[in-house]
Structures are given as structure tokens and as C-alpha cells.
Amino acid sequence: MVDAARPLFAQLAGLPLDERVTALNALRVLLHEQSPFQGEPVDLVLWVKADTVEGNSYNPNAVAPRQMELLKHSIATDGFTQPIVAWRPRAAETEAQAPALNATGGGEIEVVDGFHRHLIGKNAEDISKRLHGYLPVTLINTDREALEDRQAATVRHNAARGVHTIEGLSEMILQLLREKKGFRWFEKNLGMQPDEVTRLSQVGGLAIAFAEEEFSEAWEVDTFAAGPEPTA
């Protein structure tokens, strides 16, 4: 079956980009219809024009500028590893019409989760160019499209990411320190400032963290003379 499909797939290479993306989306829809996982939104990821994707007005998740830069660096370095979760206000469209999402125009797709990913994919020039002006989108199940369901899904997606434990993060920092990673590496790749790295390394008990680093006077520890012995 796969070998029989190869000549058909070879025709894709000759299509203009937009037509190729539309054809690929149509093929993904056909595969999704035969998939034993068709009840899972991630089984169908479509590439859609970025200017058709809009954020929602209720996302309570805020990202500080430093974390936004880290997310941008992550997408630039690792690529899009998670699609944007969205819904399609034009509910009358059927799954077979999903490739029509590639049509230009605004407000056709609303973000449920991935608001900041969508902003970076849309507005970061180098990333947008790499993605040819498209974004990867998966659509929520049609029975979860009511406003309250979408709001609840947004909160759940935000909460389900969890947080790093101090112990686990400290151990990771120590391992990276043993690999001779410096402050600049931590700031660029993990968005961590020197004081954060130092505190976390101290949690793990590494007294010689960054022993070879050059510290400014601001990092020097004051030495205090010993006071008198305490009396009973």
C-alpha cells in the first residue's frame, strides 16, 4: 500500500507551496478518518496560514519578557514540538473541509492553548520565514466548543504543564555545571540569571560551583570578624 502511494506523493514536489500544503492537509484528513486514534485531536495536525489564527480574550496565563525570549529561543532551536490547540468558530464546516482553513483572512481559528507560541510563530521574522507563514494547529473535539468548555480547556492546559521541583532542577543544574556550562549558557538556553543558578547549585551542595568563573565585586562575599563567644 505504501509503495503504491509513492508515485502519488512524488507529484506533490511539483506543486506550488500553498497548493502542496493544501494537498498535504487533505491527505492528512483522509488518513485521520481511517485512524484508530481519530478521537484524539493530536492525530490530525494541520498547517494553516498564520494570519487566520487569532488569540482568545480570556487566557489568564501571562509570560514575562524573559520567558517569552526563552520560548522564542526554544522554537528557533528545537522547532515547533507542540501544535497550537484551537477551535474553528465556523462550526458548520466538516472535517472533510478542513483544508479550507488554509484560506486567507483573519479570525477563522481561535487559540485555546498555545497563545504565546502562536505569537512567536506569527511575529518572529526568522521563524515565520522558516514556516512559510504557516502555523501547526490541532482542533479540539467538536463536543468541547462551548465557551465555558474552551475556557476550562485553556486553564487545564496551563495547569497541566506542572512546575519543576527544586530538587530535580537543582540536580540538573549540577549536572550541567559538571559539564562546564557557564553563566552565559544558562542565560541563553534556560533563561536563568547567575543568582538563580548559584542558589540552585547551593541547594545541591556543590560548594565549588563555577570555581573557574570570574566574578565581579558584586559577587564577592563579605567576611565578618568573629564576635565574642555566647554566654549561657
Distance CA 174, CA 79 (A): 27
pTM score, two decimals? 0.67
Per-residue pLDDT at 28: 94
Find out whether 145 and 91 touch, Cβ atoms under 8 Å: yes
pLDDT of 5-35, one tens digit each?
Answer: 888 888 888 899 999 999 999 999 999 999 9
Per-residue pLDDT at 19: 94
Cα-trace Rg, the chain:
25
Q: Residue 66 contacts by C-beta under 8 Å, 6 or more apart in sequence?
A: 191
Per-residue pLDDT at 230: 47
Within 10 A of 16 (CB to CB), how many other CB atoms are there? Answer: 8
Distance CA 159, CA 157 (A): 6
Residues of the chain with pLDDT under 70: 59-62, 90-107, 144-145, 148, 155-165, 204-232
Within 10 A of 230 (CB to CB), how many other CB atoms are there? Answer: 5
Listed in order, strand segments (DSSP E) in the chain are: 46-49, 53-54, 84-87, 109-113, 134-139
